[in-house]
Amino acid sequence: MGTAKGCHFPEDVLYSIENNVWVRQEADGNVTVGLTAYACALAGQIVSYTPKKVGKDVKKDKSCATVESGKWVGPAKTPVGGDVVAINDAVTAKPGLINEDPYGEGWLVKIKPNDWAGESGDLKTGAEAISAFEAKMTEEGFKGCGA
């Protein structure tokens, strides 16, 4: 697991740096989307999660869910387009799971991608992702996770 300014970034997922989300392709071809630890730190404690409905077509870089914290309300933008095939009922019941386990139990939606090969090319992983997040955090004046 890599870190940038105290934020954890697992190296087994792909990242959309611009959207502050991660995506993991599953064995069945669907992809799981979630917020990064950095996004969680920026937002603060998540108090509400409103995903798009199962069966809804979502476009690349458009909202797959709306999340709300005490200081922020906004979209979680999916890095790939497709149909929503699952939402996280555990997060619906307890939105704080997003903060507690952003890369595990706190995932947002699962999507059946329309064009994984075509749309996933700009996603980053490993050292490349960590370096890009470090630069973004510095540019935005972010003090660090847990700071």
Supply the mean pLDDT for the chain.
95
Q: What is the mean pLDDT of residues 58-74?
A: 94
Give the C-alpha separation, 96 to 124, whole Å: 26
Instruction: Supply the pLDDT for residue 54.
Output: 98
Q: Residue 115's pLDDT band (boundaries 50, 70, 90)?
A: very high
Segment 69-106, tens digit of pLDDT: 988 899 999 999 999 999 999 999 999 999 999 999 99
The answer to whether residues 73 and 66 touch, using CB atoms and an 8 Å cutoff, is: yes
The strand pair at 31-35 and 2-4 is best described as unpaired
User: Domains in the chain, start-ordered, CATH in brackets?
Assistant: 2-115 (2.40.50.100)
In this predicted structure, what is the pLDDT of residue 147? 61
CA–CA distance, 35 with 23 (Å, rounded to integer): 9
DSSP character at residue 125: -
Chain-centre distance of CA 9, in angstroms? 11
